[in-house]
Amino acid sequence: MLKVDADAAEAVRWKMHGLDAAEGHTAALASKRKMKIQGFIFNWKGHEANAKALEEKCGRVIDVTVINSEECLKEEHKSWVHLDDSAYFSAQWNRAMELFQGDVLFHIQADATFNRFEDLFAKAQRCFETYPLGVYEPNVDFTPHQFRKSLLRELEAGVHEVPMTDCTCWFIAGDIARKLPSIDLTINRYGWGVSRAIAGLSRLSGKLCVRDYNFKIQHPRGTGYSSKDAAYQLVTYLGCLSPELTREMIRIEILSDKLRLFKWG
């Protein structure tokens, strides 16, 4: 009788997170083994030194690969995965997904700076083991997705549920990352919409996107491409995704606008 009650309680606990009992049991078993976080650093022209520094720092804790789109570095960094100079975020993302074999995908842009990676990786793993997460991210000092924290649900001290995350530095559940179709580079070269799509896939799968305000990534302003072109490509990209996912992404954007500290653009 006690076992039945315990099973019922467990089923209720997972149902609160949008999972049935079987899915919850699978998630619980997965959390008992060592979680493999596999990392990727996206590098492009002008950020070689920082990409190398990030590789060294992250590599002390996890397996990490630099996806590089500065062709002249091929000989100097033979262990990096090299694309050509025309490759932007989407091409790097597609290559990372071809290489990804882990439980959680970690990605950071080469122009970001941070030092507490051991603490961050440990916290990310604990949160994925504790909560049904689609995405976990540290706070980023410069991002259009800055929300009024007082309106966000707090899961634990400093960790808040957000409608969507940034994609400067983030951890994505492997099953969610793999659900995103390969990006058509003729439609979306710069990768706008990827974080929205991942958030949409997370919500449709009953998983959460969270931001941990206990950590802060330093990230410079600006991009190396036309934001106008990227925004146009985003609209086209939306039309190429499933209607269900597109609707969810639109709902997320509406909710995000209500929670943002300021309007972007």
Amino acid at residue number 260:
R
Q: What percent of the chain has pLDDT over 90?
A: 76
Q: Are strands 81-82 and 154-156 parallel, antiparallel or unpaired?
A: unpaired
Q: What would the pLDDT profile of 183-208 be if each residue is shown by its tens digit?
A: 999 999 999 999 999 999 999 999 99
């397996």: which residue's tokens? 63
C-alpha closest to that of 200 among 244, 236, 168, 167: 244
Q: What would the pLDDT profile of 158-187 be if each residue is shown by its tens digit?
A: 999 999 999 999 999 999 999 999 999 999
Average pLDDT taken over every residue of the chain: 88
The structural domains of the chain, ordered by start, are: 35-259 (3.90.550.10)
The model's pTM is 0.85
Rounded Cα–Cα distance for residues 128 and 44 (Å): 30
